[in-house]
Amino acid sequence: MVATGSLSSKNPACISELLDHGFHPGSLLNDFDYWDYVVPEPNLNEVMFEETTCQSLAKMLENCLSKSKQTKLGCSKVLVPENLTQRIAQDVLRLSSTEPCGLRGCVMHVNLEIENVCKKLDRIVCDSSVVPTFELTLVFKQENCSWTSFKDFFFSRGRFSSGLRRTLILSSGFRLVKRKLYSLIGTTVIEEC
């Protein structure tokens, strides 16, 4: 039986069954009305905070890629699929929601996987005033496009042979590995997205 706020919309057979078991319509109506008000409304402050945190985390990831493109990746452009950093930020927030200090206790290692080799890009400490309780290892993946290597082949033979002419295209897939630092068992969670 589904509880609603009105007895008139109920099946008469169900109502007579309830009356036979000693329920009075007045108390039944009050009980149903009570549950209508108990369901919590979404806290708009929490929703706004989470959205702001998600945006700021996505911006940190974009800055990490931007800093790394000339220093560690040796390319002039990094093309990131639409909403990739937002998706990663949402997953990071979800994985940190069960931690004692939340996102503040996170240390994130950002890597890029190119042809089955991981290259370290950066280390992001979410809050340096908090002792880390867990580590996340984020692995971006390179898009497998034959036309980009074909284009690089032509540019490498001509006068545009500078390594900074290369464009790196990231895949929409990524890997997040979570490792708890406070657990004696050493719980590790691997998520492939």
pLDDT for 171-192, tens place per residue? 999 999 998 888 666 566 666 6
How many angstroms separate the CA atoms of 82 and 70, rounded?
Answer: 22
**Contact at 8 Å (CB) between 133 and 102?**
no
Determine the residue type at 25.
P
54 touches 93 (CB < 8 A): yes
Token pair for residue 139?
Answer: 């692995």
Stated as kind and residue range, the H or E segment containing 176 is: strand 167-180
Contact (CB, 8 A) for 4 and 28: no
pTM (two decimals): 0.65
- Rounded Cα distance between 165 and 26, Å, is 77
Closest CA to 109 of 98, 97, 120: 120
pLDDT tens column, 95-137? 998 888 899 999 999 999 988 889 999 999 988 999 999 999 9
Give 29-82 pLDDT, tens digit per residue. 554 454 455 555 555 555 566 788 899 999 999 999 999 988 888 888 999 999
Query: In this predicted structure, what is the pLDDT of residue 117?
Result: 87
Domains in the chain, CATH or no CATH each: 67-153+165-190 (3.90.470.40)
